[in-house]
Chain A
Amino acid sequence: GAGVSQSPSNKVTEKGKDVELRCDPISGHTALYWYRQSLGQGLEFLIYFQGNSAPDKSGLPSDRFSAERTGGSVSTLTIQRTQQEDSAVYLCASSQKSSGIPFEQFFGPGTRLTVL
Chain B
Amino acid sequence: DAKTTQPNSMESNEEEPVHLPCNHSTISGTDYIHWYRQLPSQGPEYVIHGLTSNVNNRMASLAIAEDRKSSTLILHRATLRDAAVYYCILRGSNYKLTFGKGTLLTVNP
Contacts and interface: CB of A to CB of B under 8 A. Distances in A.
A112 B66 CA distance: 41
A39 B79 CA distance: 26
B49 interface: yes
Contact count band on A: 20 to 34
Nearest to B101: A42
A31 B95 CA distance: 9
Contacts of B34: 102
A98 B43 contact: no
Contacts, number: 52
A22 to B, nearest CB: 15
A91 B95 contact: no
Contact of B44 (A41, A56, A102, A107): A107
Interface stretch (A43-51, A70-78, A80-88): A43-51
Contacts of B68: none
Chain B interface extent, by class: 20 to 34
A44 B49 CA distance: 20
A26 interface: no
A43 B99 contact: yes
B91 A48 contact: no
Given A42-B99, A42-B101, A107 B45 contact: yes
Contacts of A99: 93-95
Interface in A86-105: 91, 93, 95, 98-99, 102, 104-105
Contacts of A91: 43-44
A35 B95 CA distance: 13
Interface of B: 32, 34, 42-46, 49, 87, 91, 93-102
Given A42-B87, A98-B95, A105-B44, 10 more contacts: A4-B43, A31-B95, A33-B95, A42-B100, A48-B95, A50-B95, A93-B44, A107-B43, A107-B44, A110-B42
